[in-house]
Amino acid sequence: MTSTARTSISALSRGHEFPSVAFTVSEKVVRAYLDAVGDAHGYAETVPPLAAVALGLSAVQEQIALPEGSLHTGQEVEHHAPVRAGEALTLTGRIAQRSERQGFVVSVIELEIATVAGVAIRARSTIMAPGGAS
């Protein structure tokens, strides 16, 4: 996954689009994820959707700076199709909403994870970061 110059999430406007990222989730990464969360259901070759979202969010976070005190306050996920380990994926992301509240900037990062067949997962992550004007 690539990274670019880091701008604070608080400074990003609504509509800002992150550079798309091509990636795969290997079976090894899936197993590390399952071990970490303690999931014994054994997805085998299927990537747990929340693992794909977490990796996608981390990829976006590599492109921005999160000020100290930032909080992940909400999460939405829509599943459309299973993602297979090792499958070629494309991550696209943008700032879907931005507002300011009591010294915090509330940003909603919208992510799409697609396979060659189409969108597999859509997600919206709400991040509160210090830095609002008020």
Partner 1 sequence: MVRLVSQQRIDAYAGASGDHNPIHVDPSFARATPFGGTIAHGMLVLALIGEMMRGAFGEAWSTSGKLKVRFKAPTRPGDTITASAVLSKESADDAEYAVQCVSQSGEILIEGRASVKAVS
Name the site residues for partner 1 (rule: CB under 8 A): 29, 32-33, 35-39, 41, 43, 46, 48-51, 53-55, 57-59, 61-62, 66, 68-69, 71-82
Taking the complex as a whole, the smallest distance from the CB of residue 14 to partner 1 amounts, in Å, to: 20
> Tokens in use for 75?
């999460």
Toward partner 1, which CB reaches closer, 43 or 104?
43
Distances (CA, A) of 81 to 8, 25, 33: 32, 15, 19
Taking the complex as a whole, the smallest distance from the CB of residue 124 to partner 1 amounts, in Å, to: 8
Q: In 3-state terms, what secondary structure has residue 119?
A: strand
Toward partner 1, which CB reaches closer, 14 or 72?
72
Taking the complex as a whole, the smallest distance from the CB of residue 5 to partner 1 amounts, in Å, to: 19
Q: Let me know: does 132 contact 120? Beta carbons within 8 Å.
A: no
Toward partner 1, which CB reaches closer, 13 or 21?
21
